[in-house]
Amino acid sequence: MALLRDYDIVLFGATGFTGELTARHLATRMPANGRWALAGRNKEKLEAVRARLAEDFPELADLPLVMADSGDPDSLRAVAEATRVIITTVGPYLLYGAELVKACAEAGTDYVDLTGEPEFVDRMYVENHQTAVASGARLVHSCGFDSIPHDLGALFTVRQLPSDGPIRVRGVARSNAAFSGGTFHSAMEALSRGAQMRSAMLARRKVEPKPSGRRSKAIAGKPGRDKVLGYWLLPLPTIDPAVVARSGAALDEYGPDFGYSHYAGTKTLRFAVGGAAGVTALGLGAQIKPIREAMKKRVPVGEGPSESRRAASWFTVDFVGEGSGKQVHTRVSGGDPGYTDTAKMLAESALSLAFDKNPSVAGQVTPATAMGDALLGRLQDVGIKFEVVG
């Protein structure tokens, strides 16, 4: 039953680079009767975003603006109670996100974000999952490049395999794009908080139920050469394997014993070695606050590449799935993953929650669990390709 609220969707963080791209995508895909608004703490900046939107979409000249601040719980509660779905691009989420998740869980308001921060997601589960189950809210984290292509791509892949036996899937991501300042800042914060991240993970394990008669897990991969894809593989320490494994735990179609491993793929060993060295250097630098802050200043939040640079960017995620003696190679592909396509994924996730017929779930859930087929269709409609390669 649809909530009787002022808005269908409110976008929090529209004054940032990715936020404004998300607003532009919403403008092209919002149903004619859809009601939406921009939210933030700076009225002048919100008005400037609205004015830029109205240059291309004159009907948005009077798009509602809602004042809310991540540091003001009362304002967040008010905006959550006024809308059916909230999108937020305001990160790092560990610093700015918790109060908004709480407000949505209490108000029965659906929520989507871009976070790739495992500690934040685990903390939000412990603090808000049961409240959201009771209120009916769907709290869906990681609705950008972390982790839509991997989560929906794994779902697409397992559907090509028999579900009566164990299934193993590996995902291999490749791209030529620059990733966002927000993503970089979030990654640096996460790398600096290893002990806190482990503590949040263990706290979640104590309260999160396991599937009955089935199991689903993220599998730590090893570097090496993939004989099927022909790429050198470098395990990626991202949130994506955990998200995919949680979908596997929630959905029977992943079979009785599901495992997922996640990699970056390179064509040459030299690039794989260089990538490993780069990740190691970032991890070490993140442990020392002056170095961490200096590196963050080199990649500012709120700024992004030019339109021409984004237009030339691409990503692929190849999946190799194996189960019951069958092997399948699938691929998810699209354009600029860090900005343009992330904005598409985020906006389409919110639109799906607001307007599609989806599974009856509540609480903190994954994109595949919350939206599955509806989101797959939407992503394909906006140019993100899902295909069986072999």
Is residue 1 assigned to a domain? Answer: no
For the segment 198-227, the average pLDDT, to the nearest whole number, is 94
Question: In CATH, what number is assigned to the domain containing residue 74?
Answer: 3.40.50.720
* Residue 236 sits in the same domain as residue 333: yes
Number of structural domains found in the chain: 2
Each as own residue / partner, the long-range contacts of residues 203-210 (CB below 8 Å, 24 or more positions apart, any chain) are 203/122, 203/123, 203/126, 204/122, 204/125, 204/126, 207/125, 207/126, 207/129, 208/125, 208/129, 210/249
| Dihedrals phi, psi of 319, to nearest 5 degrees | -120, 135
* Residue 114 sits in the same domain as residue 233: no
Q: Could you tell me the residue range of the domain that residue 61 belongs to?
A: 7-144+340-381
- What per-residue confidence (pLDDT) applies to 88? 98
* Residue 218 sits in the same domain as residue 305: yes
pLDDT tens by residue, 249-262:
999 999 999 999 99
The amino acid sitting at 24 is: R
* DSSP string covering 82-108: HEEEEEE----HHHHTHHHHHHHHHHT
pTM above 0.85, yes or no: yes
pLDDT confidence bin for 1, thresholds 50/70/90: very low
pLDDT tens by residue, 82-121:
999 999 999 889 999 999 999 999 999 999 999 999 999 9
pLDDT tens by residue, 126-182:
999 999 999 999 999 999 999 999 999 999 999 999 999 999 999 999 999 766 666
Report yes or no: 263 and 172 within 8 Å, Cβ to Cβ: yes
Is residue 134 assigned to a domain? Answer: yes
* Residue 89 sits in the same domain as residue 173: no
